[in-house]
Amino acid sequence: MPENRLWIGALGGVTEIGKNMYFIQYGDDIIVVDCGSKFPDESLLGIDLIIPDISYLLAHPDKVKALIVTHGHEDHIGGIPYLLKQLNLPLYASSLTLGLIESKLKEHGLLRQTSLHRIDSESILDFGSIKVSFFRTNHSIPDCLGVVFDTPEGTVVHTGDFKFDMTPVNRQYPDIHKMADIGKKGVRFLLSESTNAERPGFTPSERLVGTHIEEAFQKADRRIFISTFASNVHRLQQIVDAASLTGRKLALLGRSMVNVVGVSQELGYLNVPDGMLVEPAEAAKLPPHEIAVLCTGSQGEPMAALSRLANSSNRQMEISTGDTVLLAANPIPGNERNVARIIDNLYVLGAKVIYGSRSELHVSGHGSQEELKLMLTLMKPEYFIPIHGEYRMLHHHRLLAEAVGVEGDKIFLLKNGELVESAGGVVRQSGRVPAGQIYVDGLGIGDIGNVVLRDRRQLSADGILITVITLSQSDGRLLNEPDTISRGFIYVRNSDKLIEEINQLVVATLEKLNQADLGQWNVIKQTLREALGKFLYEKTKRRPMILPIIIEV
C-alpha cells in the first residue's frame, strides 16, 4: 500500500454491539481508538469473553503510535490487557477512564510496563502526520471524549458514545460550541455511534432518574436496596444524594461496586458525605429506615449481589417483608429472564419491587434519533461511517444521515476489517485487514475454535458415550467385554439394559469386520460410531457424541 493514503477501519464494533476498536492510519502512523470486549451469547459454550483480532496491528508494531480510549465502559476497555500483553504502546485517556483502566492493568500485572497519559478535552496530541484533539460528550459514565483527527486527507471525527444531556448530573456539559466549530472548519469523515438509531425522539436526561430515585427513597419506610450498573457514576451520585436527603447510611455490595465507588471518589467524580459509607455488617445492625444498600447484579447475573439477596444466600444482608428494592437499570437483551426470576424471588420475600420502563429508574446513555441528527448537523460531514451498532442500527443511522443531507453514496456501512481509503482527495471503500472474534476461555486466548465449540454443543445437547475395546496386540482379538460409559446422555439407573445392548452391538460389529479392517483403527472406530449412532438414535432419538477407544495389549 502506498504511503500517502488515509485508511479508516474497525477491528470491532460494526455489525455488532461490543468490542469496539477502530483505527485511523495515514502512511506509517496508526492511531487506535478503544479496545473493548464483548460477552459471548449462549451459543458460545464455556467462552468467558470475546476480544478483537489485533493481528493487523501486530503485523505493524512500529506504526502503531497510540491507543486513545474514549471512555471507561467494558465494550471500550475490556480488551486492553490482552492488547497490551502483545503490543506495548502508549495509552491516552481522561482521568476516570484511566482510573478504571489502571485497576484492570493492575489485575493483569501490566501497570508498570505501560505508558499511561492523562488527557482531557483540551489536550492536543501530535503523532507525526496525524494531530489529535478532543471534545467532551455526555454518556452513562463521566469523562467521555469525542476525538478529532487532523490528517493530510482532512479531518476525521470519532464521536465515542454520546447523548446530549443539557442538564448533566456532574455539570460536564457537552462541548456543543466546540463541536459547532469543528463542523464549521470542515469534517471530511464522521464516525458516529448508532446504538439508539432505531429510537425516535431525544433520550431523557439522567436527572429524570434522580427524581424517581428520590421519590422512592422518600416513600420507603424500611430498608432500601438499589441495583444499577456500577460504572454509572452519575446515577451513583444521585443515589448518594437521595440517601443523604433521607438520612440513610449507604452500604455497598459487590466487588465492582466497591471498586468503582473507590476509584471515582478518589478522583473526585463521586461526592459521598463523610461517614455515610458503612460496612454491610455494620449496616445490618442499623434500624431499617436508616440504611440503603447499593448493589451489583442489575442484569440478573446469578453470582452477583442482587441475585444472592433475592435467593437469601447473601451472608451479610437479607431482604425482609416491607423492604423496598429498586432496579435502576433495564435488562440488556438476553438478560430478561434472569432479571424476571430475581423480581419473582424478591416478591416472594415480601419486598416492594420497583422495576421496568414505567418506573423511569433508567434512561439510556445513548442519544436517540434527534440527537444523532443533531451531531450530524453540527459536524456536517462530507462522508459518514455509522459505527457502534448491529446492522439494523447502522442502517437506520444511514437513513438519518441522508435525512439531514449527507449524500447516500458518501455513506459507508463497513464490516469489521473493511477499510475506507482517501488518497489525494479520492475516497472509496477499498481492501480489508484481518478482523474477527478471539475467544477467551480461562487462561486460553484464541485456543478455542469451531471444532471445540461444535463438540461442546453436541456434548451439551446429548452427552457422550464412550466404549473402550481391548484388542490383542498379537492377533487383533477382542480380549475383554467392551467397557461402555455415558455422561450427560441418559440416567444411569435406567441404562443398564441399554449398555448391555450396546456392548452386544459392539461385539457383533467387530465380528463383521474382516481381518484387514481390524488392523486399521480408523476403520474400526468409524464403523462403531456409525453402528452405535444409528442404534441409539432409533432407541432414543438422541445423538450423543460416540467415542470408541481402542486399547491394544
Name the residues annotated as catalytic.
193, 366
Q: Is 397 annotated to bind ligand?
A: no
Mention every residue, 6+ apart, whose C-beta is less than 8 A from residue 241: 210, 214
CA distances from 309 to 191, 210, 252, 306 (A): 42, 24, 13, 5
Tell me if residue 290 falls in helix, strand or coil. Answer: helix
* Pairing mode, strands 116-118 and 124-127: unpaired
Binding mask 374-393 for its own copies (x = CB under 8 A): ----------------xxx-
Half-sphere exposure of 266 (CA within 13 A, CB side): 13
- Report if residue 399 touches its own copies, rule: CB under 8 A: no
- Residue 181 makes contact with its own copies by CB under 8 A: no
Residue 237 or residue 486: which is nearer to its own copies going by CB? 486
Radius of gyration of the chain (CA): 29
Whichever of 122 and 552 has its CB closer to its own copies, that residue is 552
Which H or E element spans position 301?
none
With CB under 8 A as the contact rule, the residue among 124, 442, 500, 520 that binds its own copies is 442
Instruction: Quote the CA–CA distance of 174 and 145 in Å, as a whole number.
Output: 10
Q: How far is the CB of 215 from its own copies (least distance, A)?
A: 18
Q: How many other C-beta atoms are found inside a 10 Å radius of the C-beta of residue 211?
A: 13
Q: Minimal distance in Å, beta carbon 461 to its own copies?
A: 4
Enclosing H/E stretch for 36? none
- Indicate whether 348 belongs to the interface with its own copies (CB under 8 A): yes
Is 364 annotated among the ligand-binding residues?
A: yes
- Grid cell listed for 358: 414505567
In a 13 Å sphere around the CA of 388, the CA atoms on its Cβ side amount to: 26
> Judged by CB under 8 A, which of 395, 410, 432, 525 binds its own copies?
395
Q: Counting contacts by CB under 8 A, is residue 444 touching its own copies?
A: yes
Query: What whole-number distance in Å separates Cα of residue 153 and Cα of residue 147?
Result: 16
Measured from the CB atom, is 255 or 542 closer to its own copies? 542
> CA–CA distance from 445 to each of 53, 227, 229 (Å)?
11, 32, 27
Binding of its own copies by 283 (CB under 8 A): no
303 binds its own copies, rule: CB under 8 A:
no
Establish if 485 lies at the interface with its own copies (CB under 8 A). Answer: yes
String of b and e for 478-515 (b: at least 16 CB within 10 Å)?
eeeebebebeebbeeeebeebbeebbebbeebbeebee
What's the min distance (Å) between Cβ of 426 and its own copies?
27
The least distance separating its own copies from the CB of residue 541, rounded to whole angstroms, comes to: 3
Q: Establish whether 175 is an annotated binding residue.
A: no
**Which one, 303 or 443, has the nearer CB to its own copies?**
443
Q: Which stretch binds its own copies (CB under 8 A): 184-192, 314-322, 329-337, 418-426?
A: 329-337
Q: Does 475 bind its own copies (CB under 8 A)?
A: no
**Which residue type sits at 350?**
G
DSSP of 334-358, one letter per residue?
Answer: T-HHHHHHHHHHHHHTT-EEE-SGG
Of 251 and 453, CB closest to its own copies: 453
For its own copies (CB under 8 A), the number of binding residues is 67
Binding part of the chain for its own copies, among 31-39, 160-168, 182-190, 333-341 by CB under 8 A, reads 333-341
Q: Report which secondary-structure segment, H or E, holds 369.
A: helix 369-379
The SS3 of residue 288 is: helix
Could you say which residues in the range 117-146 bind its own copies, by CB under 8 A?
A: none
Single residue of 122, 447, 500, 530 touching its own copies by CB under 8 A: 447
Strand partners, 69: 93
Helix (H) / strand (E) element for 546: namely strand 545-552
Residue among 90, 280, 322, 463 that touches its own copies (CB under 8 A): 463
Cβ atoms of 249 and 292 within 8 Å: the answer is yes
Told to check if 408 binds its own copies by CB under 8 A, we report no
Binding residue for its own copies, selected from 313, 494, 514, 515, defined by CB under 8 A? 494
Q: Is-contact 71 50, C-beta < 8 A?
A: no
Q: Using CB under 8 A, which residues numbered 4 to 23 contact its own copies?
A: 15
Question: Which C-beta is closer to its own copies: that of 42 or that of 62?
Answer: 42
Would you mind telling me the total number of residues written for the chain in this entry? 553
Residue 540 is a binding residue for its own copies (CB under 8 A): yes
Tell me: is residue 362 an annotated ligand-binding position: yes
**Residue of 1, 58, 245, 479 that binds its own copies (CB under 8 A):** 479
12 carries a ligand binding annotation: no
218 binding its own copies? (CB under 8 A): no
CA distance 118 to 107: 20
Q: How many CB atoms are located within 10 Å of the residue 226 CB? A: 28
Among 266, 282, 344, 500, binds its own copies (CB under 8 A): 344
Q: Which of 198, 360, 501, 517 binds its own copies (CB under 8 A)?
A: 198
Grouping H, G, I as helix, E, B as strand and the rest as coil, residue 279 is coil
Reduced to 3 states (helix: H, G, I; strand: E, B; else coil), residue 420 is: strand
| Shortest Å, Cβ 500 to its own copies | 17
Instruction: Tell whether 323 is in a known binding site.
Output: no
Interacting residue ranges for its own copies, rule: CB under 8 A: 15, 41-42, 45-46, 198, 200, 333-334, 336-337, 340, 343-345, 347-348, 353, 356, 358, 390-392, 395, 441-444, 447-449, 451-453, 455-457, 459-464, 466, 468, 470, 479-480, 483, 485, 487-492, 494, 539-542, 545, 547, 549, 551-553
